[in-house]
Structure 1
C-alpha cells in the first residue's frame, strides 16, 4: 500500500493520499487549509487517480479544501452524519474563540456527500476500509482502517503522546477516553497510528507512555467512568 502524507496550512494538519500502488486509484484523507496544491502535486508524482475524499471529522482544519478537490475531480466526500453540518457551517465546531478566523468566508457542501456509518466497510481505491465512530473530540469523529489492519488514520482522536482536545463544541473528555479504550486500545501493539497532526506512532507506544492514557479504563468493562 502506498501512503503519502504531508502537513498543510496554518494548523499543520496531516493530509494523506492512500492507494494500492503507483498508477492506481487513491483516497484523499483530510485535505485541510492549503492542502489542494500539495494534493495535486502528489497525485501527479505518483500517477494517482483520486476516487474519494475521506474526512476523519468536520473541523475546518481537516475539511477546508475538501469541497474544492472533490468537485474538481467529481468525486464524493465521506463524513459522519454528526459532523456533516460543519461542511457548510464550520463555525459551529470552533466555538466563539476560534470562529472569528472564518470572518465573512462562506463554505458549500461538495456536490456529492456520503455519510459514514459506524461499523461499516467502505470500498474505495481497491481497498476495503473499516469505519469506527469514535466521538469525544467531535461528535462525528471516525477512525479509518484499511483492510490490512496494519495502520489506522486516527484524525484528532489519538496523537503521538497526546489525545484530541475536548474543549470545542461537541467535545467530551470522558467520551473521548471511552472511544480510545473501545476502538483503539483493543488493537495490537504493532498497529501504526497516522494522526491528524504530528508524527506517527503505534498502539503499543501510546499504551506504554501516553500520559493521557495512564488511567484508561479496561475497554471491556461496563459502567466505566462511574456510569
Structure 2
C-alpha cells in the first residue's frame, strides 16, 4: 500500500494520499487548509490519478481544499451527512469567534463540490483498488468518521485507520466546539475506538501516527477512569 502524508494550514492538519502498492489511482483523505498545492505536487511526483476525496469530518482544517480538488479532478467528495452543513458554512462548525479569521483567509463563499456523496455508519467504499469501511464516531463533531482500510502484506499491521480528530497519539479531539459532546465522545471511545484491533495503525488528523495497542495501553482517554465519568 502506498501512503503519503503532510501537514498543512494554520492548524497543521494531516492530509493523506493512499493507493495500492501497484496502482496509480489514489484517494485523498482530509484535504484541508492550504493542502491543494501539496496534493498536486504529490500526485505529479508519483504519477497518481485521484479517484476520490474522503473527509473524516467537516471542520475547515480538514475540508478547506476538498471541494476544490474534487472538482478539479472530477471526482466525488465523501463526507458524513451530519457534517455536510460545514462545507458551505465552516464557521458553524468551529464557532462564531472564528468568523473574522475565516473571512480574512477565505473571502470567497464556500460551496459543495459538483459530486458529493454522503457517508453512513458501516458504509463500504471500493475506490482506487482500496476497500474502505466507514464507522460513525461522533463527539468531536456530529459527523466524525473512522475510515479503515486493510493493510495487506504486513505481519504487524492488519489495517490502517484514518482517525481524523477522534483519536490522536496520546490524546483525543476536543469536544467544546459547536456540535461537540463529551459524553458522546466517551460513547465513541468505548465503542468503535476500543473495538479496533491492537494491530491497527492509526493515522490521525493531527500529530504523529500510532498503533492501537499503544493507545489502548497508554492513552489516558482510553483508560477506565476516564471512560467511566
Q: TM-score, normalised by structure 2?
A: 0.92
Decide whether the 8 Å contact of 1:130 with 1:147 is kept in 2: no
For residues 125-150 of structure 1, give each alpha carbon's deviation from its aligned partner in whole angstroms, at most 9, with x where no partner exists: 11110000000000000000013452
Answer whether contact 1:23 1:49 (CA < 8 A) is retained.
no
Paired position in structure 2 for 1:95: 95
Partner of 2:182: 173
Provide the rounded CA distance (Å) in 2 between the counterparts of 1:165 and 1:105: 28
**Structure 2 CA distance, aligned partners of 1:65 and 1:206?**
30
| Kept after mapping to 2: 8 A contact 1:145/1:152 | yes
114, 120, 125: which one aligns with 1:122: 125
Report the alpha carbon displacement of residue 212 of structure 1 after superposing the two structures with TM.
Answer: 2.1
Aligned 8 A contact 1:22 1:47 in 2: no
Q: Distance in 1 between matches of 2:40 and 2:141?
A: 28
Does residue 1:155 correspond to 2:164, yes or no?
yes
Q: Is the 8 A contact 2:31 2:62 kept in 1?
A: yes
User: Is the 8 Å Cα contact of residues 220 and 226 (structure 2) preserved in structure 1?
Assistant: no
2:48 matched to 1:52?
A: no
- The C-alpha deviation readout for 1:167-213, integer Å capped at 9, x for no partner, is 00110111112112211212222211100000001111111111222
Unaligned regions of 5+ residues in structure 2, if any? 152-157
**What is the root-mean-square deviation of aligned Cα atoms in Å?**
1.4
The offset of 1:45, in angstroms, is 1.4
Deviation for aligned residue 1:20: 0.4
Maintained 8 Å contact 1:57/1:141: yes
Cα–Cα, structure 1 residues 108 and 36, in superposed 2: closer, same or farther, change >3 Å? same
Distance across 1 between alignment mates of 2:108 and 2:64: 11
Which whole-Å CA distance do the structure 2 matches of 1:216 and 1:187 have between them? 18
User: In the alignment, is residue 182 of structure 1 matched against residue 171 of structure 2?
Assistant: no
Q: How many residues align?
A: 219
Unaligned runs of 5+ in 1: 218-223
